[in-house]
Structure 1
Amino acid sequence: MGTHATVRKSGMVFPQNLSERSWEQIGANLRELVNSSAWWLADWLIYGEATYGWRRYKEAVERTGLDYQTLRNYAWVARRFEHDRRRDSLSFAHHAEVTRLSPPEQDYWLRTAEQQKWSRNELRRAVRAGLAAQSDRDELPDSTGDGGQDATAEAASPAGEQGGSKITTLTIELSAGQLEYCTKAAAAHGLPVDKWVARMLASAARQSA
């Protein structure tokens, strides 16, 4: 049988003397193959639709036996990422998580996921937390007096978290760079930025008490 795994249509057969290093490399190669195949199929679909027309393309999908809706989903993601914006270090699923965002937001979250080495699920939680925080900020009245040029974050005081206590609102003016830093830090903890700020302030108050 030799020292290499044998690939068959219905599975993979491994020799008894396969080294652990070789086994790990096979897994890494399979991961890359699975991730790349989604992009390949998506680009194949887009090319066929643009070159041969919708009806002929649909017939081609039926003849190949590939799942039509799955390919359509793949193409929907691929159309939102030009080749130079796709990140090889992240999976197709990572990109799918941010397809509904604007291109700058997509690039920000993918760059952060790449730097933080987030899994797809970690990216999903961070994006949801970030969107929730953005929604909360959008509902706040503008307190800057200059059309909202400066970013703001609001946090409830620690006392406001106690039952029956009055909640005090603290407004903090941040530069764009500071807000980006706070948003990134909050996302890493799976929190909206306002809740993360409140937690940091409470922690600092306890330490200085």
Structure 2
Amino acid sequence: MNDISPPSTLVQQRRLLTVGVLKRSGGDRLTVPKAGLEFPPKMPFDSWLEIGAQLSTLATSSAWCLGDWLNYGEASYVGRYREAIEHSSLDYQTLRNYAWVTRKFALHRRRENLSFGHHAEVAALPEPEQDFWLQKAEDLRWSRNQLRRQIRASLSERESERSGPSSEGAPVRKGGVSNSPTQILSVRLNLSQQQMETCLSAADRAGVSFEDWALRVLDQTARTELSGTAQQ
């Protein structure tokens, strides 16, 4: 088994995927089998804390590495990588989620002081917004859940600003639809995990946010439907 010490760079993190032994400079050792942890008796508190930090680093590193690994397989072994994964112990949908996030962040944009989960929270945002929120999370030491709450609050405030003042008194045409040039309509969709991943991948390939992609698809579908109706 190998001795594993806390990594300082992403390059070093990539070398820590082998199950082995966690070790402190003081000599305390923890055996790490596949199914769990075997602690020595009377481990010092500081040692226990350090081991937790190392495990957290390993978890974040493995998500990045698995995402990079799947992206490479998709590009290099078309038609073969999916079958190979299905015969392994790896969950394909989980790997797809990892791969989607890793495609959003080149190596130089991945922040070592933040978890993979932090990056996943902002992955659907435009790149400048990704950097903004990750910088805030790093500076203020937000947890993933804190980052999520802050983003949701910001988006909610943004939606309120778009909605503007009450539409009471605005011109309305027949059927109760406003004649104002822009209307805000909130749509809630119940998608399966596979459907969500397919839509996110399509938006990613188009180079736009998920919201912009969904609006584009709705508009194109409506125009096609209306065009077909008019020809009948």
Q: What TM-score do the two structures reach when normalised by structure 2?
A: 0.57
- CA positional deviation for 1:128: 0.6
User: Aligned AA for 1:57?
Assistant: Y
Partner of 1:124: 148
Runs of 4+ in 1 over 6 A off after TM superposition: none
In 1: Cα distance, 2:58 partner to 2:155 partner:
32
Matched ranges for 1:20-39 at <5 A:
20-39=45-64
CA contact (8 A) 1:5 1:12 kept: yes
Further displaced range: 13-22 or 27-36:
13-22
Matching of residue 78 in structure 1 with residue 77 in structure 2: no
| Structure 2: segments with no counterpart, 5+ residues | 1-26, 166-232
Deviations 1:109-161 (A, max 9, x none): 110011110111110110011111122223338xxxxxxxxxxxxxxxxxxxx
In 2: Cα distance, 1:125 partner to 1:3 partner:
38
Partner of 2:36: 11
- The percent of aligned pairs where both chains have the same amino acid is 55
- CA positional deviation for 1:3: 4.0
User: Aligned AA for 2:99?
Assistant: A
SS in 1 for 2:37: strand
CA contact (8 A) 2:68 2:102 kept: yes
Q: More strand by proportion, 1 or 2?
A: 1
Q: More helix by proportion, 1 or 2?
A: 1
Q: Kindly tell me: are residues 105 and 3 of structure 1, through their superposed partners in 2, closer, same or farther at Cα, counting changes over 3 Å? A: closer
Partner of 1:68: 92
| Structure 1: segments with no counterpart, 5+ residues | 142-209
Q: Kindly tell me: are residues 112 and 3 of structure 1, through their superposed partners in 2, closer, same or farther at Cα, counting changes over 3 Å? A: closer
Partner of 1:94: 118
Partner of 1:206: none
- CA positional deviation for 1:80: 0.8
Matching of residue 134 in structure 1 with residue 158 in structure 2: yes
User: Number of matched residues?
Assistant: 139
Q: CA RMSD in A?
A: 1.5
